Amino acid sequence: MQYLYHLVPKNQVGTILYPLNNMKQKMPEVFEFQNKKYDWRREVQETVVPGLGKWNDVIHLTPIEPFETVKELKEAGVWKKWNWKAYKINPNDLDQSKLVIMTSEINNYPDNKHSILHFEPFSIKLLKENSHLPDVTKLYYRDCKKKNKNPLIYVYATHVLYKGTIDTTNLEIVEV
């Protein structure tokens, strides 16, 4: 079975995961805290997710197992001993008509760091085909080490975007 993952938010309020834009009204303090991570890259928030709205109208999930991500961060030398916990989500428990798979295409990294985003309707087959960190993400981690920068964990990696909320009450938590 192929699962989806979402990092357990630091200081999570309640048991429901919301898209960032939904938090603006429901939990303004949480919205402000989470929105700060976009301070230096506001343009990404304007990304249109076909059929679902914009970047902050969806919950961002990954099909990549947390253990694989941590392994690659450690190998690149950028692992900071973060206390990682991730919700393990069965995609069959979500409304699949509200799921989109986003992949990135990038040519000539590191000379070109801008990716072309591709959005595809959700399917388990496509999910399985995109369930590992791409080589360009691993190169990016190594570049971050050379430049002594903290990496964006899932840059250039496949995202699964969900237009809805997720109740975490009965979800398994994977700890790394």
Average pLDDT over residues 130-144: 95
Domain ranges of the chain: 4-175
- Percent of the chain with pLDDT strictly greater than 90: 66
**75 alpha carbon, distance to own chain's centre:** 20
Contact 72, 137 (CB under 8 A): yes
Grade residue 34 by pLDDT with cuts at 50, 70 and 90: confident
Which range has the top average pLDDT, 10-19, 25-34, 52-61, 80-89?
52-61
Separation CA 19–CA 89 (nearest Å): 16
The CB-side HSE value for 128 (13 A sphere, CA atoms) comes to 5
Separation CA 68–CA 140 (nearest Å): 15
pLDDT at 138: 96
Average pLDDT over residues 31-46: 74
Contact 87, 153 (CB under 8 A): no
Grade residue 124 by pLDDT with cuts at 50, 70 and 90: very high
pLDDT tens profile 46-104: 788 999 999 899 999 999 999 999 999 999 999 887 788 999 999 999 999 999 999 99
Asked which of 9-13, 55-59, 121-125, 135-139 is least confident by mean pLDDT, the reply is 9-13
Grade residue 112 by pLDDT with cuts at 50, 70 and 90: low
pLDDT at 87: 98
Residue 154, exposed/middle/buried by CB under 10 A (0-12, 13-18, 19+)? middle
Amino acid residing at 137: T
